Structure 1
Amino acid sequence: MTGPVAVSAAAPPRGSVDPLYHAPLGGGMRVRTPFNPPADRYGRGHLGVDLTASAGVEVLAAGAATVRFAGPVAGRGVVVLVHPDGVSTVYEPVAAVVAPGQRVLAGQRIGVLRGAHRSCAPAMCLHWGARRGEAYLDPMSLLRPLGVVRLLPWN
């Protein structure tokens, strides 16, 4: 397993109608636990990423979507968004400020981080997952490229 990874993928301005995906947290993100799909259907794995965050931080819609679910699951608040391209994104643990059936825009506040996610406890983090149909996706792969990648010499 790799250590934390810092990613800069700022959320869009609130209310924007951008077809691309953006960070579900304002400012940069720090990946605490990366996506790690299981080797088989019943194997161990991590079907999303855990993003380091503080309690009470705003959680933002990663893209324009319709709220499919917003409520408690096993004692933790969960929000599920369905995007026009068929991707569903999941956010937990979140105290939701949205309701099922509601349409949200990219960067719109969907809740605040509240509670603990089991893979981060006792530290706080936002678990962000994504899937298309039955296939789980690395949600970081949804983010637009951060620009041109250039390899620089060590010296």
Structure 2
Amino acid sequence: MRTFIITVPTVLVAFLVAAPAFAYVDPSTGASTASGVIRAFDKPAQNWLPGHRGVDLRLSVGSDVLASGSGVVAFAGTVAGTPTVSIDHPDGVRTTYQPVHPLISAGDLVKEGSVIGRLAHPTTQWPGLQWGAKRGEDYLNPLSLLDATTIRLKPSPAGVAL
């Protein structure tokens, strides 16, 4: 007969792994599903290769940018001339928002859907909000953090060819 010793850290790890998925919202609307994607995620085969490590969402300059999830502000400042905000979330994901004039500071706690800044003028050829997500060194499609959009097909009227 085998004897197993379960320690407190083991129980804590088991609890964290079994915890429900963390909820996220679209930082341009606060909705649980995506809308207004103007440039899709294009993860490069290697981190140093060209690609698009996030998504661009339709949003007007000066509009509120929302925290896609609750967490701690990891960075609020400028990166290579672009105003940027990054938030560390409890599930190990870091989300990044550009170009955003921050209304918060590093170390602040933010709640899902709270205003973290205002959209600045584009610093690239792409307008709107650039939203990225990363776990460790792995870039994630931020849209995968949201609920899937429900698509409902309706029957065509009788006699209408599709």
Shared fold by TM > 0.5?
A: yes
Moved >3 Å (runs of 4+):
149-155
Give the match for residue 102 of structure 1: 108
Amino acid at match of 1:135: D
Matches within 5 A, 1:6-155: 19-26=22-29, 29-120=35-126, 124-147=127-150, 149-152=151-154, 155=162
How far the C-alpha of 1:150 sits from its partner, in A, is 4.1
Query: How many correspondences in the alignment?
Result: 134
User: How far apart are the structure 2 equivalents of 1:22 and 1:135?
Assistant: 20
Structure with greater strand percent: 1
User: How far apart are the structure 2 equivalents of 1:137 and 1:117?
Assistant: 22
User: How far apart are the structure 1 equivalents of 2:51 and 2:79?
Assistant: 20
Alignment CA distance shift 1:20-1:115 (3 Å): same
Aligned sequence identity (%) = 43
How far the C-alpha of 1:40 sits from its partner, in A, is 2.5
Amino acid at match of 1:100: A
Alignment CA distance shift 1:117-1:51 (3 Å): farther
How far the C-alpha of 1:41 sits from its partner, in A, is 3.1
Q: Which has the larger radius of gyration?
A: 2
SS in 2 for 1:112: strand
5+ long unaligned stretches in structure 1? 1-17
CA RMSD of aligned residues (A): 1.9
Could you give the per-residue CA deviations for residues 13-62 of structure 1, whole angstroms, max 9, x where no partner exists? Answer: xxxxx941001012663111100011223221000001121110100000
TM-score by length of 2: 0.76
